[in-house]
Structure formats: structure tokens, C-alpha cells
Amino acid sequence: MAKAIVQRPTGTKDVIPSQIHKWNTVEGIVKSQAEAYGFKEIRIPTFEETGLFVRSVGDTTDVVQKEMYSVSATSDRNGVDAGYTLRPEGTAGSIRALIENGLLNEALPQKIFYVLSCFRHEKPQAGRLREFHQFGVEMAGTQDPRADAEVISLAKSILDTAGLRNIQLNINSIGCPECRAKYQQALRDYFKPHLGKMCDTCHNRYEKNPLRLLDCKSEICSEIAKDAPVILDYLCDDCRTHFEKLQNYLMAMDIEFSINPKIVRGLDYYTKTVFEFISNDIGSQGTVCGGGRYDGLIEQLGGKPTPALGFGMGLERLILTMESQNAEFIEEESCDIYIASMGDDAASKAMQLCRVLREDGVRAECDVVGRGLRAQMKYADKINAKFSVVLGDSELEEGKAVLKNMQSGEQCDIPLDDRFGEVFNAMLIAYQLSGEEFEGLDLSALTGN
């Protein structure tokens, strides 16, 4: 492996051209499915005021406590250091944008989606990066469980379209502030005698947000958490009915799920429904998608009270799962035509023809290095050009050249005048229609020779 003077930061990745088709495939799938469900794209800043994440993600979460990339603001605002943070997730910024742009005063529900990079200072490993990418959706302005079912259905449609199998959907309800208060008390009662053995963070969680005690990754703490009371036994009537209706809608849509009362999700803002899609094919970082309802968040961020929900899907993990299951990625198109040339006049002609072809969207290339003919043809081979043409003095004189199908070796004449683009395009369409079979392609019929 070659070594640059400076390497990329730990936990970041380059996507090189030979891999980009995977990203284009998943981005194409998530966008087209989101649009099929009526979600519209939103783009938000890469960084926000730190306070936005502290208020929304929550100051007892790992994300806010340990994982954020923050800088202090250079100038104070009213004596308060605003400070900025690279977004660790997409919901906070999207909801801020919905409020700030008055979109919650328009037709509800507002349904938005995004594809963006997130930044978390974590220990890098397979499926866990410091800069990673999320596809996410948010739906604001409905408390109906049909909305929950629809958002889950969108995530499921994406995973299906990506060709994935064996992805498990786990759902849970973590109740509303009313029923959660009783549950939090039950959790404190349960954990109190064990606190001596538990980690420092869990002591803090015990005080501030006992639900987080269920999410601790330390072995001792998670072992203790195994027998903790479950939220489902504490749900109020409203939350229970909501959860039951959600299950009925999922069943009506043939979406299989398991109820897992241990899911609380990593972020503080959730209420009622939470869910995760888990792949068992990519090791321990198997959560491909996680989301839920956050009915209090918009009000908490200064908007008018508006129930809402959404999910985030990790695109690196989606790609990893697709790779491990040999799912199909859409291959990038290669060069349509390479125009080789010998001599200055032919080189100019090649450039002119390329320009004309490219205006029509044809992937045309010619020599820009100054190579000899053999080296040019070798290059054409390497870039997988579908067709090639060689231009020299005699071709320019005669006003025609030989067009070669690089795969089958078939050849035909092609005029070098105004008809060049038209003839080549017809050829390309015939080539594309014939797929991998070149045998039946009658080039002479197309060129009128």
C-alpha cells in the first residue's frame, strides 16, 4: 500500500471510484423509496450550535457525553459561549430547520428525508466509524400509529429493495412522560441494591435518566439489567392502545416483527414507539436502522407542540450487509467510445468529435497525454471502452473511419462529418438493446454501408 505524507483521520473512509457504484446504488434506493412514500429531501448544515444536540439528543446519552466533536465559539453571544458541534445525527438539525423555516405551519404531516454524514468520536471498528453516513426520515404532525407503521414500512421497503434477507425488526414502546415516571421509579427500585457493582456512568444515569441503565454496554451492568422490570408492564392506556394498533397495522402490511422490551434507543428524545432493524450478518454492530417517535422534541426545541417520528439508517452498515449477502449493486457505465488519433490534425478532430458526442450525453474520451497509438488502445481497453475509432491523416482525407466494437471485434465504417454523432448514437442504442450479445448486431445496417 502506498503511503501519503498525511493519512486520513482514524475512523474515516475514502470511497474510491471503483467502489462508488455501491454508494450510488444505496443512495438511489433510499431516495426513490422515500419519494414513493411522499417524503421530500431536506439539506441542513454540517454543524450546529452545541446546545441543539444537548437539548435534543440529551445530556445523559453517550453521544453527547463522549462522542461529539465540538469547538468553542470564537465570540460570545450575550456572554454565553455558543460553541459548535459537527452533527452526530440528523434529527436535531432537521427538526430545527422545520421550526426555523415555518414548515410546521404548512400542510401536516411534514415528511422529510436526508442523506448526510454524521460525526461521533467513537472507537472505530467494522461498522463503527467517526464519520459515517445516514439516510434518515422525519414525519412531523401526527400521533396516529398509522404514521409509525408507515415509517417502519418505508425502512422495510428500502431493505427489501436492497435485496436483503434475514433482517430482524424489533419494536417496543417506551411510553409517554406520564407512564415513564412510574417505570423510572420501578427501575430505580430495581437497580438500587446493585449500584455498588455498576459503572460510574450508570450512577449518573441512575440519578438523571434511569432508562439509560438498560442501554449500558458494560458486561456487569448489562447482566444486571437482564432482570430489570419491563416498560410494557407500565404503559398507560393511551400508550398501550397506540402500541397495539401499531402492531395491527404492521400485521396488515405483512411486516414481521418481534417485541423487544429492552430497546430504549441511544438518544433521549424518544416517546412511545421505538424500533430497530438488525442484521446478524455483519457482526456486533448489527443495527442497520433505528428510530422511533419523539412527541416532545419539537416543543422542547421551541416549536409549537407537534408529535413526530423518524429513523436513521447507517449507510455503511447497509452496504456491509449487502456485501455479506452478495446483494446486487448497479454497475457504473464505462466509456462508450474512445477516439484514438495519430498526428496533430487527427488529435484536434478527436477532441472536436468528443465534444459533440458529450453534448448528447455520450461517454466519449480521447488522448490527453500524448501517447502513441498502441498505448492509446491499451488505455481504451483498460477503461473498458465499448467502441473505439482510430483517426489518422487518411481517415481525415476520406472523411470516414473504422468503428470497432471492442468486445466482439466487429467493425464498420462511420462518417466523420455531421452524421458522426447521429450514427454513433444509433449504434450505441442497438448495442445497449442487444445486451451482452454482439453477434446479432448488424452494424452495417446502421451506417448504411
Q: What is the binding site for Mg ion (CB under 5 A)?
A: 266
434 binds, among Mg ion, ligand ATP, none (CB under 5 to 8 A by kind): none
Using DSSP, how many helices (H) and how many strands (E) does the chain show? Answer: 16, 16
Q: Applying CB under 6 A, which of residues 290, 296, 303, 310 lies at the interface with ligand ATP?
A: 290
Question: What does the alpha-carbon distance between residue 144 and residue 130 come to, in Å, rounded to a whole number?
Answer: 36
Contact flag: residue 310 with ligand ATP (CB under 6 A)? no
Q: Applying CB under 6 A, which of residues 98, 288, 353, 412 lies at the interface with ligand ATP?
A: 288
User: Which listed range, 109-117, 285-293, 376-384, 409-417, lies at the site for ligand ATP (CB under 6 A)?
Assistant: 285-293
Contact flag: residue 266 with ligand ATP (CB under 6 A)? yes
243 binds, among ligand ATP, Mg ion, none (CB under 5 to 8 A by kind): none
Cis preceding-peptide flag for 109 (omega within 30 of 0): yes
Contact flag: residue 93 with ligand ATP (CB under 6 A)? no
358 binds, among Mg ion, ligand ATP, none (CB under 5 to 8 A by kind): none
Q: Which is nearer to ligand ATP, 135 or 387 (CB)?
A: 135
| Packed helices 145-161 and 237-252: angle between N→C axes, nearest 10 degrees | 40
- CB closest to ligand ATP, residue no: 314
Contact flag: residue 42 with ligand ATP (CB under 6 A)? no
Q: How many residues bind ligand ATP (CB under 6 A)?
A: 19
89 binds, among ligand ATP, Mg ion, none (CB under 5 to 8 A by kind): ligand ATP
Bridge partner residues of 117 (DSSP): 133
Q: Which three cell numbers stand for residue 48?
A: 450546529
CB of 318 to Mg ion, least distance (A): 16
Question: What does the alpha-carbon distance between residue 207 and residue 176 come to, in Å, rounded to a whole number?
Answer: 19
Q: Applying CB under 6 A, which of residues 104, 225, 263, 289 lies at the interface with ligand ATP?
A: 289
Question: What does the alpha-carbon distance between residue 142 and residue 23 come to, in Å, rounded to a whole number?
Answer: 32
Q: Determine whether 268 is exposed, middle or buried from the number of CB atoms within 10 Å of its CB (0-12, 13-18, 19+).
A: buried
Q: Applying CB under 6 A, which of residues 239, 267, 337, 401 lies at the interface with ligand ATP?
A: 267
What are residue 81's phi and psi, to 5 degrees? -75, 105
Q: Which is nearer to ligand ATP, 291 or 303 (CB)?
A: 291
Q: Which is nearer to ligand ATP, 110 or 287 (CB)?
A: 287
Contact flag: residue 132 with ligand ATP (CB under 6 A)? yes
Q: Which is nearer to ligand ATP, 141 or 312 (CB)?
A: 312
Q: Which three cell numbers stand for residue 433?
A: 438493446
DSSP string, 5-54: SSPPPTT-----GGGHHHHHHHHHHHHHHHHHTT-EE----SEEEHHHHH
Contact flag: residue 421 with ligand ATP (CB under 6 A)? no
Kind and range of the H or E run holding 398: helix 393-398
Contact flag: residue 303 with ligand ATP (CB under 6 A)? no
CB of 62 to Mg ion, least distance (A): 6
CB of 241 to ligand ATP, least distance (A): 26
Which of 269, 254, 199, 230 lies closest to 58 in space, CA to CA? 269
Contact flag: residue 89 with ligand ATP (CB under 6 A)? yes
Q: Applying CB under 6 A, which of residues 120, 212, 242, 272 lies at the interface with ligand ATP?
A: 120
| Packed helices 177-191 and 200-208: angle between N→C axes, nearest 10 degrees | 140
- CB closest to Mg ion, residue no: 266
CB of 121 to ligand ATP, least distance (A): 9
CB of 359 to Mg ion, least distance (A): 48
Contact flag: residue 285 with ligand ATP (CB under 6 A)? yes
CB of 266 to ligand ATP, least distance (A): 3
Question: What does the alpha-carbon distance between residue 188 and residue 39 come to, in Å, rounded to a whole number?
Answer: 40
For residues 19-28, b (16+ Cβ closer than 10 Å) or e, as one string? eeebbebbee
Contact flag: residue 300 with ligand ATP (CB under 6 A)? no
The pairing of strands 387-391 and 364-366 is unpaired
CB of 334 to ligand ATP, least distance (A): 31
Contact flag: residue 216 with ligand ATP (CB under 6 A)? no
Q: Applying CB under 6 A, which of residues 54, 116, 129, 152 lies at the interface with ligand ATP?
A: 129
The pairing of strands 287-293 and 167-173 is unpaired
Q: Determine whether 70 is exposed, middle or buried from the number of CB atoms within 10 Å of its CB (0-12, 13-18, 19+).
A: middle
CB of 82 to Mg ion, least distance (A): 25
Question: What does the alpha-carbon distance between residue 242 and residue 218 come to, in Å, rounded to a whole number?
Answer: 33
Question: What does the alpha-carbon distance between residue 336 and residue 357 come to, in Å, rounded to a whole number?
Answer: 10
Residues forming contacts to ligand ATP in the complex (CB under 6 A) are 89, 120, 122, 127-129, 132, 134, 266-267, 285, 287-290, 312, 314, 316-317
